[in-house]
Structure 1
Amino acid sequence: MIDRRTILTAALAAIAAPDATRSAPAQAPVSRITAYAFSFPALAGGDIRLADHAGRPLLVVNTASLCGYTPQYAGLQELWTEFHGRGLMILGVPSNDFGGQEPGGATETANTAQQHGATFPIAAKATVKGPNAHPFYKWAADARPRDVPRWNFHKYLVGRDGYIADVFPESVAPTDTRVKTAIARALADS
């Protein structure tokens, strides 16, 4: 037999319980930052705004003038010549972080790039590792913590969606088939 107290307790519990048919308030979608949110001071002055290249693949490479990999500037220029007309943006980011191999100023960096035939955009010298890294490199390290630059000429390929599509260490030449294939794939993605 059920007494009034049991019925009253059950009724109050039902009223106090959240309504399962009512949906929780909708939460705004999480907005993730893309590479297009960043800019770099340009070697020749002004800014290189990645947003100006939104929807295009980007190859961001930390460079150095006195490195054994410095001849990769020529390979980067080959990529620029081959793929720029199809939408690829290449950005060289000089850095003195590895072996002190970019000790000079803007003039020395520009001379090195020109000696190797580079005509793609070059940023002003930036830090690419550690707590003082440029915000793009902090973002990339967050996105791909196992694929951070360990030396000069580390390559981040950013897809049309603004997220890192592929990463190539310094030991992989810009003209390597793997790099060209990844770029072609990024260019083909809609």
Structure 2
Amino acid sequence: MANFYDFSVTTAKGEEIKMADFKGKVVLIVNTATGCGFTPQYTPIEQMYKDYHSKGLEILDIPCNQFGGQAPGSDDEIHEFCTVHYNTTFPQMKKSDVNGDNQLPLFKYLKEQQGFKGFGESKMAQFMKQHLSKIDPNYEKNSDIKWNFTKFVVDKNGNVVARFEPTEDMAVVENCIKALL
């Protein structure tokens, strides 16, 4: 059976990044989009990178255009947007699918390890529930990524320990990461 360290992803520049290179580190993996209501989450994600990278946090930003076409640009355009508007410094991968026939094998694995558990009860969570129930009335019954800015946390031993939907308070994500470092 595969484990986290068996996978790799490709950077926007075409370089392969092996998850095995992250042994002993905590990894936050997030599918992103530049034109999404959750795009401002780049700010706290970048702050976490600044605060915890030297303590062993790695972040993998994987742009995805599968949700509302909210990441339509090229890899270079997406990178420019993120660095100009959010001053991001963490690694950005090649735009990729996270669901369906062309999904990254890494995302298939992540979803098998941590399925969908709901959006919570916030106002935005209620909006997401209503929105997704129109697209797929059975969205709650599968582990697919539901929207941009879904986050997975992998511990220092390669265990996928958490999945956070985009509606989760970023302070909760940060507390999870701090506890693992």
TM-score greater than 0.5 by the shorter chain: yes
Deviation per CA, 1:22-53, whole angstroms, max 9, x where unpaired?
A: xxxxxxxxxx4222211111012312221111
1:125 to 86, 95, 98: 95
C-alpha distance in 2 between matches for 1:173 and 1:117? 21
SS at 1:167 equivalent = strand
Counterparts of 1:25-40 in structure 2, within 5 Å, are 32-40=1-9
Unaligned 5+ segments in structure 2 are 118-143
Residue 149 of structure 2 aligns to which amino acid in structure 1? F
Determine if contact 1:37/1:50 at 8 Å carries over to the other structure: yes
Residue 131 of structure 1: how far off its partner (Å)? 2.7
The 1-side partners of 2:157 and 2:13 are apart by: 28
Alignment of 1:157-168 (within 5 A): 157-168=153-164
Q: CA deviation at 1:111?
A: 1.2
Question: What is the letter of the counterpart of residue 135 of structure 1?
Answer: P
Query: Which residue matches 1:116?
Result: 86
Aligned 1:130-149 pairs, distance under 5 A: 130-146=100-116, 148-149=144-145
C-alpha distance in 2, partners of 1:90/1:186?
A: 14
**Would the aligned equivalents of 1:94 and 1:102 in 2 still touch at CA under 8 Å?**
yes
- Among the aligned pairs, what percent are the same residue? 34
Aligned to 2:121: none
| SS of alignment partner, residue 66 of structure 2 | coil
- TM-score by structure 1 length? 0.77
How do 1:31-180 and structure 2 match up within 5 A?
A: 32-114=1-83, 115-146=85-116, 148-174=144-170, 176=171, 178-180=172-174
Greater share of helix: 2
Name the aligned partner's letter for residue 100 of structure 1.
Answer: G
The structure with the larger Rg is: 1
Aligned length: 154
Residue type at the aligned position of 1:127: D
SS in 2 for 1:113: helix
Amino acid at match of 1:74: T
Q: CA deviation at 1:161?
A: 1.4
Work out whether residues 165 and 186 of structure 1, in 8 Å CA contact, stay in contact via their aligned partners in 2.
no
SS in 2 for 1:131: coil
CA positional deviation for 1:173: 4.3
**Counterpart for residue 23 of structure 1:** none
2:176 paired residue number: 182
Secondary structure at the aligned position of 2:148 is classed as coil
The structure 1 segments of at least 4 consecutive aligned residues displaced by more than 6 Å after TM superposition are: none
| Conserved 8 A contact 2:59-2:91 | yes
- The answer on whether the counterparts of 1:95 and 1:125 sit within 8 Å (CA) in structure 2 is yes
Aligned residue identity for 1:153: F
SS of equivalent residue, structure 2 residue 80: helix
Q: Name 2:122's counterpart in structure 1.
A: none
Instruction: Note the aligned Cα RMSD (angstroms).
Output: 1.3
2:167 maps to amino acid: S
CA distance in 1 between counterparts of 2:50 and 2:71 reads 25
